[in-house]
Structure 1
Amino acid sequence: MSDDHDAAGAMSFIFEAGVLKRAARTGWWFAGVKHPESIAEHSFRTAIIGMVLAAMEGADPGRVAMLCALHDTQETRITDIPHIAKRYLTAAPNTTVTADQVAACPPAVAEAITAAVAEYEAGQTLEAVVARDADKLECLVQAVEYRHQGIDNVQRWIDSSRAALRTASAHRLADAALAGQPLAWLNPPRQSE
């Protein structure tokens, strides 16, 4: 294959991933959020949380961030299926969707992405455990923020996210999120000179 063909295949995946910037996280509609965060916004902060958790848990922050960035890319094709809908719908496994998404990519790109998604889905490595905790912790943090914005019906998201956490660091961060104020960072303590 030509370098141009490889580049076109990789760019196709990049364009497709861009759809996530416009796709809403649909479960929040049930809580009364009129304009919920996008899947890309969720994935971005999941990657940030993943890097923080990785540092706290002794995992590879770069690998965790990669797993987090890719964990919902399949939703360009299957959408963000709310938890309640999963009782009634059967979607293709994320690994299958990912394989289709990267089929035209250069082999090295396809392998890197499919391996990361497979690792995340298997949930066996420390990095995958931390990435999964980052995903759940981001949902909890978003629920706390929505609650502070006046959306009261978010406790089920807080409870289910917290119950799914596996690492000690994620539990500590969840406690801090629940006890904290989302905008406290605007009034940092002054540094003495």
Structure 2
Amino acid sequence: MQRIVHLLFEALMLKRLPRSGYHFLGSGSESVAEHSFMITMIAYVMGQMNPEADQGKLMAMCLLHDLPEARMGDLNYVQKKYVCADEKKAVRDLVKGLSFGGEMVRLLDEFTQGESLEARLARDADQLAFLVDLKALADTGRRGPAKWMGVVEKRILTETGRSLAQSLLDTDWDAWWLEKYAEPPREG
């Protein structure tokens, strides 16, 4: 039980770990845990849109995909050109002593390889989570994020992901509530 509790405290670190790519945008911020929530939420939706996918596996991949960052930190694309993190070692150490550690390793490996339907959807969910945030920042007047939306959109591989991305880019970030609540109340 002690080892499981250690895992939970390690996962807690993701709430405190900022995603480093936002420095290049000039605005916005997000913790790794906030990102993990959003990618998992998107994976849930994508799983509903793809009933042939194993939804549990898809969501588990998304939940776990950045867990090694609790040990390595969040390296952005520029940092990865100069710093070589040993993610395999981080994962090995992370799962050591866990009865379900082998399953975690399999899910993380499958995500990294990106070959299964679930892994492709999870990887697209990862990009879509970033795209959602970029779109919201751009819609609220931030200029930097708009430059990155096309770059991120090009990383999306599945038809479901491309369809979601297009709809997301065509929709104002606040349309979900503005359409309903912007109308003055009707008199009774």
If the length of structure 2 is used for normalisation, what is the TM-score?
A: 0.89
Deviation at 1:149, TM superposition (A): 2.7
Residues matched between the structures, number: 180
Cα deviation 1:39-74 (Å, max 9, x = unaligned) = 101110100101111222331222111000001111
Separation (CA, whole Å) in 1 of partners of 2:180 and 2:138: 25
Say whether residues 1:67 and 2:61 are aligned partners: yes
CA deviations over 1:16-36 (Å, ceiling 9, x no partner): 011101111111111112x50
Corresponding residue of 1:53: 46
Q: Specify which of 17, 36, 40 is matched with residue 29 of structure 2.
A: 36
Q: Aligned letter for 2:124?
A: D
2:43 aligned partner, one-letter code: G
Aligned pair partner of 1:120 in 97, 111, 115 = 111
Q: Are the equivalent residues in 2 in contact too, given 1:147–1:154 (CA < 8 A)?
A: yes
- Residue aligning to 1:4: none
CA contact (8 A) 1:52 1:61 kept: no
What is the aligned partner in structure 2 of residue 101 from structure 1?
A: 94
Selected match of 1:82 from 76, 81, 85: 76
Tell me if the contact between 1:139 and 1:157 (Cα under 8 Å) persists in the aligned partners. Answer: no
Structure 1 SS opposite 2:78: helix
Moved more, 46-55 or 149-158: 149-158
Give percent identity, aligned residues only: 31
| Aligned-partner residue type, residue 110 of structure 1 | G
The structural deviation recorded for 1:189 is 5.6
Structure 2's unaligned 5+ residue stretches are 182-188
Q: Which residue of 1 aligns with 2:174?
A: 183
Letter in 2 for 1:77: R
- Structure 2 residue identity aligned to 1:16: E
User: Is 1:167 the counterpart of 2:158 in the alignment?
Assistant: yes
- TM-score, structure 1 length as denominator? 0.87
RMSD of Structure 2 on Structure 1 (CA)? 1.6
Letter in 2 for 1:149: T
Q: After the TM superposition, which segments of 4 or more aligned residues of structure 1 sit over 3 Å from their partners? A: 187-190
